[in-house]
Structure 1
Amino acid sequence: MVRGLHLSALLLCATAVHAQAPEAHDHAAHQRAAPPADPSPVVVPLDAAARATLTRHTVEATAHGQTLRCEGVSLAALLQSSGAMPDAPLRGAHLDRYVLVSARDGYRAVFSLGELDATLGNRGVYLVDRCDGAPLDADNGPLRLLVPDDTRPARGVRQVERITIIAAP
């Protein structure tokens, strides 16, 4: 009889643990799969009015053996002013977001929001509209993305047509 009770108690405990395990698992999965902080995708306005209130920077970068001295706005500031990136240090759901920069000719480059955040990557990326004292020509503009600290200019996008913020799947 004692042996039967012991086995019954063991089965009862195992059933209770098994019944609790899915709830604990579901809770952990819910924490990892929290809904995004903002809608996705978000298209960032690039018009002159969207850039007019932002601080302008002079940026030097080398592209294809040519040193450029350009003027424009910080990509992070543009994203923040449009509401696509928070002003506060990134955390949580914003850390899975990336910036897709698309050009008129089909060229594209990607940056993570964390890479642009001043408290994380602090990468200097600039959307410029003037180089060497003149507006960009049709081959390079009207907008161009420059990443002065990249070793190669591969993420420097000419003819920028669209900037989109996307939450990673």
Structure 2
Amino acid sequence: MRRIDRRSFVLPLLLLGACFAAQAHKHDGAPHKRGDAAAVPPGAVEVKLDEAVLAKLPQVKAEGMAHGRKLACEGVALVDLLRASGAMPAEPLRGAQLSRMAQVRARDGYRAAFSLGELDPSLGNRPVVLTRRCNGAELPAEDGPWRLIVPGESRPARWVRQVESIRVSDAEV
């Protein structure tokens, strides 16, 4: 019986491993670039709740239960507002963008956070709606002027009422 020398397998295995590694670092046919600074806005981005910008965005509907009340609301998708504000790129997220988050703050100091990855339609695709109108009327003062609706969550803990600011920044670790 012929004996096989193990050293004859080393070079082909190394080449095969290099091919798999090269494929693993590709995204949509393009090589992954570390530190692509053009895709990541430097530092924090304050998202303005600007009526002119919001009026240009598509209206979406969101429904759910909060504090024993059924809400049927219409507003703008948070992801659309972030993109229109330059706080999130229009193309699918990758690299350093995946560590960024949107923090929503209410007048009373309440805060909720969303990773950009969970909002990105190509990744988490979580629907989050910023609204001024629910059940056919403007929000009451104790809920408005802006409110977040997050359909599909088990409880409305991130349904922020009295939204006063939205800030996108790197996640602190």
TM-score by length of 1: 0.78
Q: Counterpart in 1 of 2:108?
A: 105
1:137 and 2:122 correspond: no
1:58 and 2:61 correspond: yes
CA shift for structure 1 position 47: 2.1
**Number of aligned positions between the proteins:** 139
Runs of 5+ unmatched residues, structure 2: 1-32
Distance 1:32-1:91 versus aligned 2 partners, 3 A rule: closer
Q: Counterpart in 1 of 2:79?
A: 76
Larger radius of gyration: 1
CA RMSD of aligned residues (A): 1.6
Runs of 5+ unmatched residues, structure 1: 1-30
Distance 1:86-1:34 versus aligned 2 partners, 3 A rule: closer
CA shift for structure 1 position 34: 7.2
Letter of the aligned partner of 2:58 in structure 1? T
1:161 and 2:164 correspond: yes
Q: Distance in 1 between matches of 2:136 and 2:77?
A: 18
CA shift for structure 1 position 168: 2.1
Cα-to-partner distance string for 1:34-85 (whole Å, 9 max, x where unaligned) = 7682122100011211201000012111101111011100000000111110
Q: Counterpart in 1 of 2:3?
A: none
1:39 and 2:30 correspond: no
Q: Distance in 2 between matches of 1:33 and 1:92?
A: 7
SS, match of residue 87 in structure 2:
coil
Q: Distance in 1 between matches of 2:128 and 2:58?
A: 14
Task: Return 36-45 or 55-64, whichever deviates more.
Answer: 36-45
CA shift for structure 1 position 166: 0.7
- Identity among equivalent positions (%) equals 55
Letter of the aligned partner of 2:124 in structure 1? G
Q: Counterpart in 1 of 2:155?
A: 152
As a proportion of its length, which structure holds more helix? 1
TM-score by length of 2: 0.76
1:120 and 2:143 correspond: no
The answer (yes or no) to whether the contact 2:112–2:158 under 8 Å persists in 1 is yes
SS, match of residue 154 in structure 1:
coil
SS, match of residue 90 in structure 2:
coil
Q: Distance in 1 between matches of 2:167 and 2:66?
A: 24
CA shift for structure 1 position 33: 7.1
4+ long deviations beyond 6 Å: 31-34
